[in-house]
Amino acid sequence: MVEENHLTWHEGKVTKHDRETLKKHKGAVLWFTGLSGSGKSTISVELEKVLHGLNVHTYRLDGDNVRHGLNRDLGFADKDRVENIRRIGEVSRLFVDAGIVTLTAFISPFQRDREMVRSLFQDGEFIEIYVKASLEACEARDPKGLYKKVRNGEISQFTGIDSPYEAPASAQIVVDTEKQTVVEAVEMIVGYLKVNGYLE
C-alpha cells in the first residue's frame, strides 16, 4: 500500500465551474434515504427520467446495483454498511465534480455515515431526501420479498427489524410515500431544485 505522504493531488485545467457552465446546471448529489420498500429507487428512477427531459445531466447510483460491482465484496454487518456508504460518498463526489446531478438510493441507516458523506461536499451540494414510510407500510409493500424472508429467518441484520434505522433529523426534503404519489414526490424535488438555483 502506498503511504498518503507519497501522494500528490494533480490539478487539471478544467474546473468544476467550467463543467457546470458547459452543462448549464450545477452538480449536486440527491441522497435518498429510507427503509427498504419506502420508495427510494422508484422515485429516483422517475426523477432521473424527468430531469433528463429537462436536459439535466444525471447519473443514478442504486444500492442493489452497486453491490453487483463496486461493493460486491461487502456484506451487511455494520462495518460493511459503513464502508458501503463511504465508497458511494466518494464516487458521488467524483460525479458532482464532473457537474452531474447524482441520485443515490441507499438505505444508509446511520446518521453519522450520512453526515460523513455530507462533509465530503461543499455547502449545498449534498441534498438529503428522506423517503418516509412506516415499517408496517414498507413490509406490506415488500417489493423484493425481503421482509417475508426476514420473518422466515432467512435474512438477519435487516434494517428496521433487527438492525436500526436512524431517520434524518433535518433532511432538506421529506417525501411521505404513504401520503404522496411518485409523481407528487418528483414534482416536489424538481421544484426544490428550481427554487434553489440548481436548475435554470
Q: Is 37 annotated as a binding residue?
A: yes
Domains assigned to the chain: 16-133+165-195 (3.40.50.300)
Would residue 39 be called left, alpha or beta, if left means φ above 0 and alpha means ψ between -120 and 50 degrees?
Answer: left
The pLDDT, as a whole number, for residue 162 is 83
The pLDDT, as a whole number, for residue 147 is 83
Q: Is 163 a catalytic residue?
A: no
Of 44, 108, 119, 134, the active-site residue reads: 108
Of the pLDDT bands very low, low, confident and very high (cuts 50, 70, 90), residue 3 is low
Question: Cβ distance 35 to 135 under 8 Å?
Answer: yes
Q: Is 34 annotated as a binding residue?
A: yes
Closest CA to 137 of 60, 58, 59, 34: 34
Closest CA to 105 of 21, 166, 164, 38: 38
Q: Is 63 annotated as a binding residue?
A: no
Prediction pTM value? 0.89
